[in-house]
Structure 1
Amino acid sequence: MASAIETRTTRRPVPKRLAILLAVVAAAILALGAAFFQAPAANAAGSATGWVRVGHLSPDTKSVDVRLTSLKGGQVVYELDNVTYGQVSSYKQLPVGTYSVSMTSAGASATSKPVISASITVASGKPITVVAYGKNADLKTTVFEDDLTKPAADTARIRLVQAATVSKSVSVATSTGTWVAQNAPYGSASGYASVGAGKWTLDLTGKKKAATATASVNLASGSINTLFVLDNAKGGITIVPAVDSAATTTTPKGGVQTGGGYEATHEAPTFFGGFRTFAEANH
């Protein structure tokens, strides 16, 4: 009968100095590993993006072609053709950095002198709206920071961009008396007001007698909207609304789908979907 053989392993105690050395080495390995796995996060931060959209708000400036060019490398990253008064593009997602935005007469060569140009900065996670506004003889550009914080349930957020040259300031209120903006100065963007989702009638009041108007908008639940106040053909004011973001703060959605960067075919923008066009607002 085979007998069982019992084996025993005798463990010798590890010297105290050796134990300390092993602990130091293990800590170093863990630190190196942590640094290694954090490297992709740093790379991700370096490739962060923001969003840009462009608007033509100059009443006596003819159609323009718009180009956004990266100052780092000189590459054209966004192009829009034949942009007319009152049109605002969709958002274009771009890497963080500094860009040149230029507007040239529609159909002009890429080397033609721009009607206007400006330098803009795209910041991580930040949407901005770049507009050219004012009369052609005194054309200006400005950048508005857009806030796409999600509205509360069953509500919408709305703000005003005052680009009407016929009035130094404009006030807009809903038919129920909720102010969207009071005495908003020319060339400014108001803060955002929260209103219930649904159809609204808006009352516009400017400094001149002719600078009064009404407009109807249908604000979707969870949407964020901008009202662009512009000149109309009769010397008064009108509103062209745009949806900044429809129930999302992850990917901004502009009012019109226009272009897609240098790799896309160039197309003429269309007006804001779901709202009256600028031409319709002037009749």
Structure 2
Amino acid sequence: MTRITTQPPQTRGGLPRRLVVGFIVVAAVLLASAAALFGGASQAKAAGSGEGWVRVGHLSPDTKAVDVTLTSLAGGQVVYKLDDVTYGQVSPYKELPDGTYTVAMRAAGAAASAKPVISDSITVATGKPITVVAYGKNAALKTTVFQDDLTAPAAGDARIRLVQAATVSKSVSVKTSTGTPVATNAPFGSASGYASVGAGKWTLDLTGKQKATASTANVSLASGSITTLFVLDNSKNGITIVPVVDSAATTTTPKGGVQTGGGYEATHPQLDLTSGFVPFSAVG
């Protein structure tokens, strides 16, 4: 009797062909899963998974208090809401995923369905802080976005810039009492570049055109701080400065409370920028 013995099929390397086929199937599944996983991550990254910062300012002298909303374009969800924001006030920064949003201002206390006083779309980019402001007289209200730079100054210094939102002057110049220019003939609705000055107390000289009168402001700049000087109307048809601390020696997210301004304040007292709060009360 001839004995028949069954041997499993062999591959060149000596492994069973069935086992090799199994390895191939498993490898294919793993590769497909990895492609889906990393491809999905790549697509998500392309769609935007970073975060930036947004703050909002009310710089219109004859526009009454407003409620502000930021709504994501994708999904229509309100992601930031501010109530009863008055002239000269600037909100704290809000960290938001990058993407497109609608910023809308409605009369304070109005229903969410009420027509906005003004609205516009803005873009939040990864790692970028921006300031969105409504400025100008109510009849010709505008919005604009300023790109902020929170790069820390050199040790012992502070950085300042100017936002010219005074309606009584087409341009404004600001310099320190020692002659260091912060902005020269800054046009209405613009933001100057940043100037570095030594930390400490400074007297700033403001010069406007047209009906605006020259004035001064005393500020105290903390070491490592970054400050925006908002130039606004005052109650005497002149110009005044509302300083807002953008970043007070922080390397993480921007911080600070709502900054109060006094566009119609007759006087402006000593301004202390170290706290991030300006001692003004807006009066109509």
Normalising by structure 1, we get a TM-score of: 0.78
Distance 1:101 1:274, change over 3 A: closer
**What corresponds to 2:194 in structure 1?**
192
* 1:256, distance to aligned residue in structure 2 (A): 2.2
Within 5 A, what are the aligned runs for 1:120-269? 120-208=122-210, 210-256=212-258
Residue aligned with 2:96, SS = strand
* 1:213, distance to aligned residue in structure 2 (A): 1.1
Distance 1:35 1:219, change over 3 A: farther
> How many positions carry a matched residue from both structures?
244
Higher RCO (C-alpha 8 Å, min separation 6): 1
What percentage of residue pairs aligned between the two structures are identical? 76
Contact 2:213 2:238 in 1 (8 A): yes
**What corresponds to 1:54 in structure 2?**
56
Instruction: Return the alpha-carbon distance in structure 2 between the equivalents of residues 218 and 99 of structure 1.
Output: 35
* 1:248, distance to aligned residue in structure 2 (A): 1.9
Contact 1:223 1:245 in 2 (8 A): yes
One of 98, 104, 111 as aligned partner of 1:102: 104
Distance 1:274 1:128, change over 3 A: closer
Within 5 A, what are the aligned runs for 1:15-94? 42=42, 46-94=48-96
Residue aligned with 1:228, SS = strand
Contact 1:86 1:278 in 2 (8 A): no
Structure 2 counterpart of 1:167, one-letter code: S
Instruction: Return the alpha-carbon distance in structure 1 between the equivalents of residues 93 and 69 of structure 2.
Output: 14
Instruction: Return the alpha-carbon distance in structure 1 between the equivalents of residues 154 and 259 of structure 2.
Output: 27
Q: Per-residue displacement from partner, 1:132-164 (whole Å, max 9, x unpaired)?
A: 000000000000000111111000100000000
Contact 2:245 2:276 in 1 (8 A): no
Instruction: Return the alpha-carbon distance in structure 1 between the equivalents of residues 137 and 225 of structure 2.
Output: 32
For structure 1, the 5+ residue unaligned runs are: 1-13, 15-24, 259-271
* 1:55, distance to aligned residue in structure 2 (A): 0.2
For the aligned residue pairs, the C-alpha RMSD in angstroms reads 2.8
Residue aligned with 2:75, SS = coil
Distance 1:165 1:81, change over 3 A: same
**What corresponds to 2:269 in structure 1?**
none
Instruction: Return the alpha-carbon distance in structure 2 between the equivalents of residues 172 and 143 of structure 1.
Output: 22
Contact 2:259 2:276 in 1 (8 A): no
Q: Per-residue displacement from partner, 1:40-59 (whole Å, max 9, x unpaired)?
A: 97556742100000000000
Instruction: Return the alpha-carbon distance in structure 2 between the equivalents of residues 148 and 226 of structure 1.
Output: 11
Instruction: Return the alpha-carbon distance in structure 1 between the equivalents of residues 153 and 180 of structure 2.
Output: 17
Contact 1:65 1:106 in 2 (8 A): yes
For structure 2, the 5+ residue unaligned runs are: 1-12, 14-23, 261-272
